[in-house]
Structure 1
Amino acid sequence: MQTRKLGYTDLHVSVVGLGAWAMGGSGWKFSWGAQDDEDSIRTIHRALELGVNWIDTAAVYGLGHSEEVVGCALKELGSRRRPIIATKCGRRWDETGTPYANLHPDSIRAEIDDSLRRLGVDVIDLYQMHWPQPEEMIEDAWGVMADGVKAGKIRYIGVCNYNVAQMKRLQPIHPIASLQPPYSMLVRGVEDELLGFCAANDIGVVCYSPMQKGILTDKFTREWVERLPKDDHRAQFDERFKEPQLSKNLELVEMLKPIAHRSGHTVAQLAIAWVLRRPEVTSAIVGARKPSQIEETVAAGDWNLSPEEIAQIEQLLAGR
């Protein structure tokens, strides 16, 4: 597995990182449906065996449960094989399991300690502000996160879902180690300004949803979408899984299959390799719920797309 240096830090992360959103299980608004904890732990261990060296989670995933599952997996590994751990703050939840934004300094201080406890670690390698909401409090929250670095509870701090103007407000307070934006063939806004800004300021870029929540995979069919559990947020809230976008996305996947299959790869691997084609991108975060899924996607970490393959994909995307 290739690795790339994360911004100005001394962390070298695998170009494929394991995302633990779905490992939070069901019972909250943005669930991916029911998930077996033992499957999650086996998936984490298998990912590490295959060369993945970092895991991305968040306090809000499963209302704390994702962090707990990651903590259980780490405990079984022992300290010698501990991967790089990234988690996030700024999203709390009410008694109904509905997340809400909270960047109050006291809340962030509590979140840091809660995440350390759930993960069972003494220090968090990368602590990220999940969303810039409420925007008027991002500097206050960032200052508390910087205090966490000084206190030895956090190694580096980063942001998710931020724009350039918002990052410029934080840089004078404490250097930003990383940005985590969405990036896929279907969501390309990061290319406009963010990638260039991050490269110029030595900020790592770790992209989420390179497979667009399962759309950019061989398994993506109309029947598969219809079988999604009712508590899977994709079936409830994501317009890309509904008409008219559904038919357009199905058509794109069919056109991507020959490009991927020609070299013995899958559409999922193609989608990840496409994100990694950009040198400004440090790593692509891929979700997995069972070992077989991560076994498929890690292969993208060693696939460098040819100029011809990139041009073919660009031609397909230009027609959308």
Structure 2
Amino acid sequence: MSSSTVPSTTLGTDGPVVGIQGLGCMGMSEFYGETDTAEALATLDRALELGVTLFDTADIYGNGENEKLIGPFVRANRDRVVLATKFAIERRLDDPTYRSVRNDPAYIRQAVDASLSRLGVDVIDLYYMHRHTPEVPFAESVGAMAELVQAGKVRYLGLSEVTGAELREAHAVHPITALQSEWSLFSRDVERSAVSAAAELGVGFVPYSPLGRGFLTGAFANAAELGGGDFRNYQPRFTGDNAAHNAALLTPVHKIAAAHGATPAQVALAWVQQQAEVHGLTVVPIPGTRKRSRLEENTAAASLRLSAEELAALEPIAAQVTGDRYPDMSSTSAARE
């Protein structure tokens, strides 16, 4: 399938109008090995040409470097770009392995100002709590986020990796526009409670890793093929016996792709996008890429329709996947269901 301009939708009931596919920018700065910066920046421009308007980053990606990287692009196209960034995961420059989740109001106020400075903008369109710690009540953390809206620093609020009950609790404090969590043919934890809660509340759903971190594309069958500097080497489902088992599950994806003259990536994205109809909510996946060729492949999936029979053939895959999404699942919604 050739590339095409993606149509637009409203993110949730009252959110911004965005292309029905966004772009995850994380890999442009970290986690997936070396990056060709010039090609990454060209990919941002091409995305906008193709109707992609939601650009997703976070303060921890590259320890702030990702926000700095996309800042000039955002500023040059401010009237067309819907900028999303996140706070909550604290890192330390002197210890690359350190991670701490912070939702306290003082930290939130500090984090937003730091992101605004790195991005070089006056307002963030969509500001996510990247991870939730039950140690801080939503009344405090979402209350502090609501103050950012009142102060004009943020337009819309989002959450990431929360359960349905947590989404309802947060939404009662201040309207939540979007929920961003992992959702793909390989990861369907969110269907336990978060998806139905989002549909009920009119919250848009933004699936991250809709291509299973590239595994669903067939680009690699084991993380050992990827070399050093790639964080997929530490994800259980892409290594050892799990990888071999999970690669074998992709047979129906390849079969459906061949029938449509499409790629496995396009089938995987089409499946995610059609969950909007299945569950009755807005779904805007944010596949990440650093290359224009992959971007064009991904955006073409917006026009691919899978039949009921094809959806049924893909239905059993997630239940058969072996290996967790992360080495440590403690900060994900799945751990609190």
TM-score normalised by structure 1 residue count: 0.91
Answering whether residue 287 of structure 2 is matched by residue 294 of structure 1, we say no
The 5 Å alignment of 1:18-97 reads 18-25=23-30, 31-75=31-75, 77-80=76-79, 82-94=80-92, 95-97=94-96
Cα deviation, residue 37, structure 1: 2.3
Pairwise CA distance, 1:243: 2.3
Post-superposition offset of 1:61 = 0.7
Encode CA deviations 1:45-82: one digit per residue, 9 max, x unaligned: 1111111111011101111011111102224x3444x3
CA offset digits 1:253-279 (Å, max 9, x no partner): 233211112111111111111011112
1:314 corresponds in structure 2 to: 315
Map 1:80-229 → 2, pairs under 5 A: 80=79, 82-94=80-92, 95-97=94-96, 98-222=98-222, 225-229=223-227
**2-structure distance, mates of 1:215, 1:257:** 12
Q: Distance in 1 between matches of 2:236 and 2:32?
A: 15
Structure 1 residues not aligned, in runs of 5+? 26-30
Q: Offset of 1:4 from its aligned partner?
A: 2.2
Render the CA deviation track for 1:8-44: whole Å, top value 9, x for unaligned. 324122121100111123xxxxx22222322221111
Taking the aligned partners of 2:129 and 2:143, their CA distance within structure 1 comes to 11
Q: Secondary structure at the match of 2:266?
A: helix
Work out whether residues 58 and 87 of structure 1, in 8 Å CA contact, stay in contact via their aligned partners in 2.
Answer: yes
1:238 is aligned, of 235, 259, 264, to 235
How far, CA to CA, are the matches of 1:85 and 1:49 in structure 2? 16
Q: In 2, Cα distance between the equivalents of 1:241 and 1:218?
A: 12
- Correspondent of 1:15 among 12, 20, 28: 20
C-alpha contact (below 8 Å) 2:89/2:130 kept by paired residues: yes
Matching residue's letter, 2:95: T
Q: Distance in 1 between matches of 2:62 and 2:181?
A: 21
Percent identity of equivalent pairs: 36
Q: 1:142 to 1:317 in 2, by over 3 A?
A: closer
* Aligned-pair Cα RMSD in Å: 1.8
TM-score (norm 2): 0.87
Of 273, 276, 289 in structure 1, the residue corresponding to residue 273 of structure 2 is 276
Q: What number of residue pairs does the alignment pair up?
A: 310
CA distance in 2, matches of 1:318, 1:147: 41
- AA matched with 1:102: R
Per the alignment, residue 324 of structure 2 pairs with none
- Residue 28 of structure 1: aligned partner: none
**Displacement, 1:302?**
1.5
C-alpha displacement at 1:139, in angstroms?
3.1
Structure 2 stretches lacking a partner, 5+ long: 1-5, 322-337
